[in-house]
């Protein structure tokens, strides 16, 4: 019984420690990176149980703000190899294991 309570406490501590965004790779300019990162965090918090809606929100806002042809992938345990426009890629983690990849290609 004690193990179950302790395990839940460790999970809660892990999620609290890893609730900040962690950028793994980006080549975006500073201003664009900050806006994209804030948008990703907002979308992932708003649609915590629906990655498809979060991705759609991010894509639509990036299209509106920085021009069309943005693509977004949100999930856990995926790999990717993409071709993108230079200075238009953001790959980050949020909440520990949720990955977000945002890129532009035309």
pLDDT tens digits for range 55-78: 999 999 999 999 999 999 999 999
Interatomic CA distance for residues 24 and 38, integer angstroms: 15
Q: Is residue 43 part of a domain?
A: yes
The per-residue pLDDT for 24 is 93
Q: What CATH number is given to the structural domain containing 97?
A: 3.30.740.10
Interatomic CA distance for residues 63 and 74, integer angstroms: 17
* Whether the Cβ atoms of residue 103 and residue 58 lie closer than 8 Å to each other: no
Q: Is residue 92 part of a domain?
A: yes
Quote the distance between the C-alpha of residue 19 and its chain's center.
11
Number of independent structural domains in the chain: 1
pTM, entire model: 0.80
Domain extent for 88: 21-104
């Amino acid at each position: 019984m004690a193990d179950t309570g302790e395990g839940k406490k460790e999970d809660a501590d892990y999620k609290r420690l890893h609730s900040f965004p962690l950028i793994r790779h980006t080549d975006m300019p500073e201003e664009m990176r900050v806006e994209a990162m804030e948008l990703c965090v907002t979308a992932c918090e708003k649609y915590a149980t629906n990655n498809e809606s979060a991705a759609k929100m991010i894509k639509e806002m990036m299209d509106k703000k920085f021009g069309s042809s943005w693509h977004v992938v949100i999930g856990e345990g995926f790999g990717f190899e993409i071709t993108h426009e230079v200075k238009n890629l953001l790959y980050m983690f949020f909440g520990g294991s949720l990955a977000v990849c945002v890129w532009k290609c035309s």
